[in-house]
Structure 1
Amino acid sequence: MRVLIVEDEPTLGRQLRATLEGAGYAVDLATDGEDGHFLGSTESYDVIVLDLGLPEIDGLTVLDRWRKEDITIPVLVLTARDSWSDKVAGLDAGADDYLAKPFQTEELIARLRALIRRASGNASSELIAGDVRLDTRSGKVTLDGEPVKLTAQEYKLLSYLMHHKGKVVSRTELIEHIYDQDFDRDSNTIEVFVTRIRKKLGAEVITTIRGLGYSLEDPSERRTE
Protein backbone atom coordinates (compact mmCIF):
# COMPACT_ATOMS: atom_id res chain seq x y z
CA MET A 1 0.00 0.00 0.00
CA ARG A 2 1.20 3.49 -0.85
CA VAL A 3 0.99 6.47 1.51
CA LEU A 4 1.53 10.19 0.99
CA ILE A 5 2.69 12.17 4.02
CA VAL A 6 2.31 15.95 3.83
CA GLU A 7 4.21 17.31 6.84
CA ASP A 8 6.45 20.38 7.06
CA GLU A 9 8.24 19.55 10.32
CA PRO A 10 11.44 17.81 9.07
CA THR A 11 12.10 15.52 12.03
CA LEU A 12 8.50 14.33 12.31
CA GLY A 13 8.26 13.85 8.55
CA ARG A 14 11.37 11.66 8.50
CA GLN A 15 10.19 9.71 11.54
CA LEU A 16 6.76 9.06 10.02
CA ARG A 17 8.30 7.98 6.73
CA ALA A 18 10.70 5.57 8.43
CA THR A 19 7.95 4.17 10.66
CA LEU A 20 5.52 3.55 7.81
CA GLU A 21 8.20 2.09 5.57
CA GLY A 22 9.12 -0.22 8.44
CA ALA A 23 5.46 -1.26 8.61
CA GLY A 24 5.56 -2.25 4.92
CA TYR A 25 4.16 0.84 3.21
CA ALA A 26 5.59 2.61 0.17
CA VAL A 27 5.87 6.25 1.26
CA ASP A 28 6.21 9.61 -0.46
CA LEU A 29 6.86 12.75 1.61
CA ALA A 30 5.89 16.34 0.74
CA THR A 31 7.01 19.20 2.98
CA ASP A 32 4.58 21.95 1.94
CA GLY A 33 1.00 22.29 0.78
CA GLU A 34 1.85 23.06 -2.83
CA ASP A 35 3.91 19.90 -3.36
CA GLY A 36 1.43 17.88 -1.33
CA HIS A 37 -1.49 19.02 -3.45
CA PHE A 38 0.41 18.23 -6.65
CA LEU A 39 1.37 14.72 -5.56
CA GLY A 40 -2.12 13.94 -4.27
CA SER A 41 -3.59 15.14 -7.57
CA THR A 42 -1.21 13.31 -9.90
CA GLU A 43 -0.09 10.13 -8.12
CA SER A 44 -1.95 7.04 -6.91
CA TYR A 45 -2.19 6.59 -3.14
CA ASP A 46 -4.18 4.33 -0.85
CA VAL A 47 -4.24 6.87 1.99
CA ILE A 48 -2.87 10.34 2.77
CA VAL A 49 -1.58 11.76 6.08
CA LEU A 50 -2.09 15.52 5.93
CA ASP A 51 -0.87 18.14 8.40
CA LEU A 52 -3.05 21.26 8.60
CA GLY A 53 -0.36 23.82 9.46
CA LEU A 54 1.55 23.80 6.16
CA PRO A 55 3.54 26.51 4.36
CA GLU A 56 2.62 27.68 0.84
CA ILE A 57 -0.93 26.28 1.02
CA ASP A 58 -2.58 25.31 4.31
CA GLY A 59 -3.83 21.77 4.80
CA LEU A 60 -7.54 22.60 4.83
CA THR A 61 -7.22 24.34 1.47
CA VAL A 62 -5.27 21.40 0.04
CA LEU A 63 -7.94 18.98 1.24
CA ASP A 64 -10.76 21.13 -0.08
CA ARG A 65 -9.09 21.30 -3.50
CA TRP A 66 -8.65 17.53 -3.67
CA ARG A 67 -12.31 16.94 -2.90
CA LYS A 68 -13.41 19.52 -5.48
CA GLU A 69 -11.20 17.68 -7.98
CA ASP A 70 -13.12 14.47 -7.12
CA ILE A 71 -10.05 12.88 -5.53
CA THR A 72 -11.52 10.38 -3.08
CA ILE A 73 -8.34 9.02 -1.50
CA PRO A 74 -8.89 8.57 2.27
CA VAL A 75 -7.25 11.41 4.22
CA LEU A 76 -6.18 11.37 7.86
CA VAL A 77 -5.72 14.92 9.13
CA LEU A 78 -2.72 15.27 11.44
CA THR A 79 -2.31 18.48 13.40
CA ALA A 80 -1.25 20.02 16.70
CA ARG A 81 -4.61 21.76 16.88
CA ASP A 82 -6.94 19.91 19.22
CA SER A 83 -9.98 22.16 19.62
CA TRP A 84 -13.36 20.83 18.54
CA SER A 85 -13.69 23.61 15.93
CA ASP A 86 -10.50 22.51 14.16
CA LYS A 87 -11.70 18.91 14.14
CA VAL A 88 -15.03 19.96 12.65
CA ALA A 89 -13.29 22.11 10.03
CA GLY A 90 -11.08 19.22 8.97
CA LEU A 91 -13.94 16.74 8.74
CA ASP A 92 -16.17 19.24 6.92
CA ALA A 93 -13.38 19.84 4.38
CA GLY A 94 -13.44 16.13 3.51
CA ALA A 95 -11.14 14.39 6.00
CA ASP A 96 -11.92 10.76 6.79
CA ASP A 97 -10.22 10.69 10.19
CA TYR A 98 -8.46 13.01 12.62
CA LEU A 99 -5.44 12.55 14.89
CA ALA A 100 -4.01 15.31 17.11
CA LYS A 101 -0.33 15.65 18.00
CA PRO A 102 1.29 14.25 20.04
CA PHE A 103 0.24 10.73 19.14
CA GLN A 104 1.42 7.14 19.30
CA THR A 105 2.63 5.78 15.97
CA GLU A 106 0.81 2.50 16.69
CA GLU A 107 -2.48 4.41 16.72
CA LEU A 108 -1.62 6.20 13.48
CA ILE A 109 -0.82 2.92 11.73
CA ALA A 110 -4.01 1.31 13.06
CA ARG A 111 -6.10 4.22 11.79
CA LEU A 112 -4.43 4.03 8.36
CA ARG A 113 -5.12 0.29 8.16
CA ALA A 114 -8.77 0.95 8.99
CA LEU A 115 -9.09 3.69 6.36
CA ILE A 116 -7.55 1.46 3.68
CA ARG A 117 -9.82 -1.46 4.62
CA ARG A 118 -12.96 0.65 4.52
CA ALA A 119 -12.00 2.25 1.21
CA SER A 120 -11.71 -1.19 -0.39
CA GLY A 121 -14.91 -2.49 1.23
CA ASN A 122 -13.27 -4.74 3.84
CA ALA A 123 -14.62 -4.56 7.38
CA SER A 124 -12.29 -7.08 9.02
CA SER A 125 -8.55 -6.81 9.61
CA GLU A 126 -8.23 -10.40 8.35
CA LEU A 127 -8.51 -10.80 4.58
CA ILE A 128 -9.54 -14.23 3.30
CA ALA A 129 -9.41 -15.90 -0.12
CA GLY A 130 -10.06 -19.63 0.08
CA ASP A 131 -7.37 -21.20 2.25
CA VAL A 132 -5.25 -18.04 2.18
CA ARG A 133 -5.53 -15.61 5.09
CA LEU A 134 -3.72 -12.30 5.52
CA ASP A 135 -3.81 -10.49 8.86
CA THR A 136 -3.27 -6.77 8.24
CA ARG A 137 -2.49 -6.15 11.93
CA SER A 138 0.32 -8.68 12.29
CA GLY A 139 1.40 -8.89 8.65
CA LYS A 140 1.16 -12.68 8.80
CA VAL A 141 -0.01 -14.87 5.91
CA THR A 142 -1.22 -18.43 6.30
CA LEU A 143 -2.20 -21.17 3.85
CA ASP A 144 -4.64 -23.74 5.23
CA GLY A 145 -3.63 -22.62 8.71
CA GLU A 146 0.10 -22.94 8.13
CA PRO A 147 2.31 -19.81 8.16
CA VAL A 148 3.81 -18.75 4.84
CA LYS A 149 6.92 -16.59 4.71
CA LEU A 150 6.78 -13.83 2.10
CA THR A 151 9.30 -11.12 1.28
CA ALA A 152 8.27 -7.52 1.91
CA GLN A 153 7.47 -6.90 -1.76
CA GLU A 154 5.58 -10.20 -2.14
CA TYR A 155 3.49 -9.26 0.91
CA LYS A 156 2.73 -5.80 -0.49
CA LEU A 157 1.56 -7.24 -3.80
CA LEU A 158 -0.55 -9.96 -2.19
CA SER A 159 -2.04 -7.48 0.28
CA TYR A 160 -3.10 -5.11 -2.48
CA LEU A 161 -4.73 -7.91 -4.48
CA MET A 162 -6.52 -9.25 -1.39
CA HIS A 163 -7.82 -5.78 -0.53
CA HIS A 164 -9.25 -5.72 -4.06
CA LYS A 165 -10.38 -9.34 -4.24
CA GLY A 166 -12.49 -10.13 -7.27
CA LYS A 167 -11.30 -7.12 -9.26
CA VAL A 168 -8.88 -7.06 -12.17
CA VAL A 169 -5.80 -5.05 -11.19
CA SER A 170 -3.45 -3.89 -13.93
CA ARG A 171 0.32 -4.18 -13.69
CA THR A 172 0.53 -0.38 -13.77
CA GLU A 173 -1.86 -0.07 -10.83
CA LEU A 174 0.16 -2.57 -8.82
CA ILE A 175 3.37 -0.65 -9.50
CA GLU A 176 1.72 2.65 -8.56
CA HIS A 177 0.43 1.30 -5.25
CA ILE A 178 3.29 -0.84 -3.94
CA TYR A 179 6.25 1.40 -4.86
CA ASP A 180 7.05 5.02 -4.14
CA GLN A 181 7.39 7.58 -6.93
CA ASP A 182 11.14 7.02 -7.37
CA PHE A 183 10.74 3.38 -8.41
CA ASP A 184 11.60 2.37 -11.97
CA ARG A 185 8.13 1.78 -13.36
CA ASP A 186 9.44 -0.06 -16.42
CA SER A 187 10.63 -2.86 -14.18
CA ASN A 188 9.33 -6.40 -14.78
CA THR A 189 9.48 -7.31 -11.09
CA ILE A 190 5.69 -7.57 -10.77
CA GLU A 191 5.72 -10.71 -12.89
CA VAL A 192 8.57 -12.09 -10.78
CA PHE A 193 6.69 -11.50 -7.53
CA VAL A 194 3.49 -13.04 -8.91
CA THR A 195 5.42 -16.16 -9.89
CA ARG A 196 6.98 -16.41 -6.42
CA ILE A 197 3.62 -15.98 -4.67
CA ARG A 198 2.10 -18.71 -6.83
CA LYS A 199 4.92 -21.07 -5.87
CA LYS A 200 4.26 -20.41 -2.17
CA LEU A 201 0.45 -20.25 -2.14
CA GLY A 202 -0.56 -22.28 -5.18
CA ALA A 203 -0.71 -21.67 -8.92
CA GLU A 204 -4.42 -20.79 -8.84
CA VAL A 205 -4.27 -18.10 -6.16
CA ILE A 206 -3.61 -15.29 -8.68
CA THR A 207 -5.20 -15.39 -12.11
CA THR A 208 -3.60 -13.64 -15.08
CA ILE A 209 -6.16 -11.82 -17.20
CA ARG A 210 -4.41 -11.55 -20.54
CA GLY A 211 -3.96 -7.96 -21.65
CA LEU A 212 -5.56 -6.57 -18.48
CA GLY A 213 -3.65 -7.64 -15.40
CA TYR A 214 -4.20 -9.91 -12.41
CA SER A 215 -7.12 -11.00 -10.29
CA LEU A 216 -7.35 -12.75 -6.93
CA GLU A 217 -10.61 -14.47 -6.13
CA ASP A 218 -11.95 -16.80 -3.48
CA PRO A 219 -12.10 -20.24 -5.20
CA SER A 220 -15.57 -20.82 -3.76
CA GLU A 221 -16.80 -17.65 -5.46
CA ARG A 222 -15.42 -18.35 -8.91
CA ARG A 223 -17.95 -18.74 -11.66
CA THR A 224 -18.29 -22.01 -13.46
CA GLU A 225 -18.91 -22.13 -17.22
Structure 2
Amino acid sequence: MLVEDDTAQATAICDLCKGHGYAVDPVKTGVEANEMLLTETYDCIVLDLGLPDSNGEEILLRLRMRSDLTPVLILSGRNQPSERTRLITAGADDFMSKPYYGMELLARISNLTRRRGQSPGPETVIGEVVIRPGERLVTRNGNRVNLTRREYAVLEYLLHRRGKLVIKQDVELSVYGFDFIASNTLEVYISRIRRKLGQDLIETVRGFGYRLKEK
Protein backbone atom coordinates (compact mmCIF):
# COMPACT_ATOMS: atom_id res chain seq x y z
CA MET A 1 0.00 0.00 0.00
CA LEU A 2 1.14 3.53 -0.83
CA VAL A 3 -0.33 6.32 1.30
CA GLU A 4 0.55 9.56 -0.51
CA ASP A 5 -1.68 12.55 -1.29
CA ASP A 6 0.62 14.14 -3.88
CA THR A 7 -0.65 12.81 -7.22
CA ALA A 8 2.62 13.27 -9.11
CA GLN A 9 4.70 11.53 -6.43
CA ALA A 10 2.16 8.75 -6.04
CA THR A 11 2.14 8.12 -9.79
CA ALA A 12 5.95 8.05 -9.93
CA ILE A 13 6.21 5.58 -7.03
CA CYS A 14 3.45 3.36 -8.42
CA ASP A 15 5.10 3.28 -11.86
CA LEU A 16 8.47 2.47 -10.30
CA CYS A 17 7.11 -0.36 -8.15
CA LYS A 18 4.86 -1.83 -10.82
CA GLY A 19 7.77 -1.77 -13.26
CA HIS A 20 9.64 -4.08 -10.87
CA GLY A 21 6.83 -6.55 -10.32
CA TYR A 22 4.99 -5.10 -7.30
CA ALA A 23 1.24 -4.67 -7.06
CA VAL A 24 0.41 -1.30 -5.47
CA ASP A 25 -2.76 0.03 -3.86
CA PRO A 26 -2.45 3.85 -3.74
CA VAL A 27 -4.59 5.87 -1.33
CA LYS A 28 -4.60 9.59 -0.61
CA THR A 29 -6.15 9.94 2.85
CA GLY A 30 -5.89 8.48 6.30
CA VAL A 31 -9.55 7.42 6.21
CA GLU A 32 -9.00 5.38 3.04
CA ALA A 33 -5.85 3.81 4.43
CA ASN A 34 -7.42 2.81 7.75
CA GLU A 35 -10.48 1.32 6.05
CA MET A 36 -8.43 -0.77 3.63
CA LEU A 37 -6.03 -1.96 6.32
CA LEU A 38 -8.95 -3.48 8.22
CA THR A 39 -9.80 -5.79 5.31
CA GLU A 40 -6.64 -6.15 3.21
CA THR A 41 -3.22 -7.64 3.95
CA TYR A 42 -0.04 -6.03 2.61
CA ASP A 43 3.62 -6.98 2.46
CA CYS A 44 4.69 -3.37 3.03
CA ILE A 45 3.21 0.09 3.57
CA VAL A 46 4.90 3.24 2.24
CA LEU A 47 3.49 6.03 4.35
CA ASP A 48 3.60 9.80 3.90
CA LEU A 49 3.05 11.84 7.07
CA GLY A 50 1.40 14.99 5.70
CA LEU A 51 -2.04 13.77 4.67
CA PRO A 52 -4.99 16.12 4.05
CA ASP A 53 -7.21 14.60 6.74
CA SER A 54 -4.74 13.33 9.34
CA ASN A 55 -1.12 12.81 10.34
CA GLY A 56 0.22 9.62 8.80
CA GLU A 57 1.71 8.76 12.18
CA GLU A 58 -1.83 8.01 13.38
CA ILE A 59 -2.06 5.19 10.81
CA LEU A 60 1.17 3.71 12.12
CA LEU A 61 -0.02 3.88 15.74
CA ARG A 62 -3.37 2.25 14.88
CA LEU A 63 -1.54 -0.62 13.19
CA ARG A 64 0.76 -1.29 16.11
CA MET A 65 -2.02 -0.94 18.69
CA ARG A 66 -3.80 -3.91 17.11
CA SER A 67 -0.53 -5.90 16.86
CA ASP A 68 -0.34 -5.57 13.07
CA LEU A 69 3.35 -6.05 12.23
CA THR A 70 3.14 -5.11 8.54
CA PRO A 71 6.44 -3.36 7.68
CA VAL A 72 6.03 0.42 7.42
CA LEU A 73 8.41 2.70 5.54
CA ILE A 74 7.92 6.39 6.35
CA LEU A 75 8.46 8.68 3.37
CA SER A 76 8.44 12.29 4.49
CA GLY A 77 9.74 15.77 3.85
CA ARG A 78 10.49 16.03 7.57
CA ASN A 79 13.95 14.85 8.51
CA GLN A 80 14.67 16.02 12.06
CA PRO A 81 16.53 13.38 14.09
CA SER A 82 14.00 13.68 16.92
CA GLU A 83 11.13 12.96 14.54
CA ARG A 84 12.87 9.96 13.00
CA THR A 85 13.58 8.61 16.49
CA ARG A 86 9.97 9.08 17.60
CA LEU A 87 8.59 7.30 14.53
CA ILE A 88 10.99 4.38 14.80
CA THR A 89 10.10 4.06 18.47
CA ALA A 90 6.40 4.11 17.53
CA GLY A 91 6.95 1.09 15.30
CA ALA A 92 8.13 2.31 11.89
CA ASP A 93 10.58 -0.09 10.23
CA ASP A 94 12.38 2.42 8.01
CA PHE A 95 12.45 6.14 7.21
CA MET A 96 13.33 8.01 4.01
CA SER A 97 13.27 11.75 3.57
CA LYS A 98 12.13 13.61 0.46
CA PRO A 99 13.49 14.15 -2.10
CA TYR A 100 14.46 10.51 -2.51
CA TYR A 101 16.33 8.37 -5.03
CA GLY A 102 13.84 6.01 -6.67
CA MET A 103 16.06 2.95 -6.80
CA GLU A 104 17.00 3.32 -3.14
CA LEU A 105 13.31 3.47 -2.25
CA LEU A 106 12.75 0.31 -4.30
CA ALA A 107 15.66 -1.41 -2.55
CA ARG A 108 14.30 -0.55 0.89
CA ILE A 109 10.84 -1.83 -0.05
CA SER A 110 12.47 -5.03 -1.27
CA ASN A 111 14.35 -5.42 2.01
CA LEU A 112 11.21 -4.95 4.09
CA THR A 113 9.12 -7.39 2.07
CA ARG A 114 11.95 -9.94 2.13
CA ARG A 115 12.26 -9.55 5.88
CA ARG A 116 8.53 -10.20 6.27
CA GLY A 117 9.03 -13.51 4.49
CA GLN A 118 6.78 -16.45 5.28
CA SER A 119 4.59 -16.20 8.34
CA PRO A 120 5.88 -18.47 11.12
CA GLY A 121 2.40 -18.90 12.61
CA PRO A 122 0.86 -17.56 15.84
CA GLU A 123 3.31 -19.43 18.08
CA THR A 124 6.72 -21.04 17.60
CA VAL A 125 8.21 -23.37 20.21
CA ILE A 126 11.95 -24.02 20.16
CA GLY A 127 12.94 -26.09 23.17
CA GLU A 128 12.20 -24.00 26.26
CA VAL A 129 11.63 -20.83 24.19
CA VAL A 130 8.19 -19.75 22.95
CA ILE A 131 7.83 -16.92 20.41
CA ARG A 132 4.48 -15.29 19.59
CA PRO A 133 5.12 -12.83 16.73
CA GLY A 134 1.61 -11.34 16.76
CA GLU A 135 2.16 -10.20 20.36
CA ARG A 136 5.92 -9.64 20.10
CA LEU A 137 6.08 -11.93 23.10
CA VAL A 138 9.07 -14.16 23.90
CA THR A 139 9.17 -16.48 26.90
CA ARG A 140 11.70 -18.95 28.28
CA ASN A 141 10.56 -21.64 30.69
CA GLY A 142 7.27 -19.77 30.99
CA ASN A 143 8.92 -16.48 31.97
CA ARG A 144 8.69 -13.42 29.75
CA VAL A 145 12.02 -12.32 28.26
CA ASN A 146 12.45 -8.64 27.45
CA LEU A 147 14.25 -8.06 24.17
CA THR A 148 15.23 -4.65 22.82
CA ARG A 149 13.71 -3.58 19.52
CA ARG A 150 16.89 -4.48 17.65
CA GLU A 151 17.27 -7.81 19.39
CA TYR A 152 13.69 -8.70 18.52
CA ALA A 153 14.16 -7.59 14.90
CA VAL A 154 17.16 -9.92 14.53
CA LEU A 155 15.26 -12.81 16.15
CA GLU A 156 12.20 -12.14 13.99
CA TYR A 157 14.26 -12.16 10.79
CA LEU A 158 15.80 -15.52 11.72
CA LEU A 159 12.39 -16.86 12.78
CA HIS A 160 10.91 -16.20 9.34
CA ARG A 161 13.77 -18.30 7.92
CA ARG A 162 13.86 -20.88 10.67
CA GLY A 163 16.20 -23.78 9.94
CA LYS A 164 17.75 -21.98 6.97
CA LEU A 165 21.22 -20.49 6.79
CA VAL A 166 21.09 -16.70 6.38
CA ILE A 167 24.16 -14.64 5.60
CA LYS A 168 25.24 -11.86 7.91
CA GLN A 169 24.83 -9.14 5.28
CA ASP A 170 21.17 -10.04 4.66
CA VAL A 171 20.36 -9.82 8.37
CA GLU A 172 22.12 -6.46 8.67
CA LEU A 173 20.42 -5.01 5.59
CA SER A 174 17.00 -6.15 6.75
CA VAL A 175 17.35 -4.86 10.32
CA TYR A 176 19.31 -1.65 9.68
CA GLY A 177 18.49 -0.75 6.06
CA PHE A 178 21.23 1.37 4.56
CA ASP A 179 22.27 3.03 7.80
CA PHE A 180 25.94 2.62 8.71
CA ILE A 181 26.65 0.15 11.49
CA ALA A 182 29.89 -1.01 13.07
CA SER A 183 31.25 -4.30 11.77
CA ASN A 184 30.60 -6.23 15.00
CA THR A 185 27.16 -4.80 15.87
CA LEU A 186 25.18 -7.82 14.68
CA GLU A 187 27.44 -10.18 16.64
CA VAL A 188 26.72 -8.15 19.77
CA TYR A 189 22.95 -8.56 19.32
CA ILE A 190 23.29 -12.28 18.57
CA SER A 191 25.33 -12.66 21.75
CA ARG A 192 22.69 -10.85 23.81
CA ILE A 193 19.87 -13.00 22.38
CA ARG A 194 21.83 -16.16 23.23
CA ARG A 195 22.46 -14.94 26.75
CA LYS A 196 18.74 -14.32 27.26
CA LEU A 197 17.30 -17.31 25.39
CA GLY A 198 20.01 -19.97 25.38
CA GLN A 199 23.41 -20.38 23.79
CA ASP A 200 22.28 -23.07 21.34
CA LEU A 201 19.24 -21.18 19.97
CA ILE A 202 21.20 -19.57 17.13
CA GLU A 203 23.92 -21.49 15.31
CA THR A 204 26.88 -19.61 13.84
CA VAL A 205 28.20 -20.98 10.55
CA ARG A 206 31.60 -19.37 10.42
CA GLY A 207 32.31 -17.41 7.27
CA PHE A 208 28.64 -17.55 6.18
CA GLY A 209 26.04 -16.48 8.71
CA TYR A 210 23.47 -17.78 11.19
CA ARG A 211 20.72 -20.35 11.53
CA LEU A 212 17.86 -20.48 14.06
CA LYS A 213 17.45 -24.05 15.24
CA GLU A 214 14.20 -25.83 14.38
CA LYS A 215 13.36 -27.70 17.64
TM-score, with length taken from structure 1: 0.55
Range that drifts further, 95-104 or 126-135? 95-104
2:131 pairs with one of 115, 118, 134: 134
1:157 pairs with one of 121, 131, 154: 154
State whether residues 77 and 97 of structure 1, in contact with CA within 8 Å, keep that contact through their aligned partners in structure 2.
Answer: no
Give the AA of the match of 1:67.
Answer: K
Q: 1:138 to 1:82 in 2, by over 3 A?
A: closer
Kindly report structure 1 stretches of 4+ aligned residues shifted beyond 4 Å.
74-78, 95-104, 114-119
Structure 1 counterpart of 2:144: 147
Distance 1:145 1:117 in 2: 31
Structure 2 counterpart of 1:51: 3
State whether residues 76 and 97 of structure 1, in contact with CA within 8 Å, keep that contact through their aligned partners in structure 2.
Answer: no
2:212 pairs with one of 200, 211, 216: 216
Aligned-pair identity in percent equals 28
SS in 2 for 1:165: coil
Offset of residue 80 of structure 1: 1.3
- Does residue 76 of structure 2 align to residue 79 of structure 1? no
SS in 2 for 1:142: strand
How many residue pairs were aligned? 158
- 5+ unaligned residues in a row in structure 1: which ranges? 1-48, 220-225
Q: 1:156 to 1:75 in 2, by over 3 A?
A: farther
SS in 1 for 2:204: strand
- What per-residue deviation string (whole Å, max 9, x for no partner) do you get for residues 157-216 of structure 1? 1121112212222211111111243x3234311111111211221111001122211111
Q: 1:132 to 1:59 in 2, by over 3 A?
A: farther
- Does residue 203 of structure 2 align to residue 198 of structure 1? no
TM-score, with length taken from structure 2: 0.57
State whether residues 125 and 131 of structure 2, in contact with CA within 8 Å, keep that contact through their aligned partners in structure 1.
Answer: yes
1:97-176 equivalences under 5 Å are 104-109=59-64, 110=66, 113-114=69-70, 119-122=116-119, 124-176=121-173
- 5+ unaligned residues in a row in structure 2: which ranges? 72-112
Give the AA of the match of 2:19.
Answer: K
- What per-residue deviation string (whole Å, max 9, x for no partner) do you get for residues 57-103 of structure 1? 43244133223224x5x8675521878xxx8xxx9xxx768899656
1:24-35 equivalences under 5 Å are none
Bigger relative contact order, structure 1 or 2, given CA contacts below 8 A and separation 6+?
Answer: 1
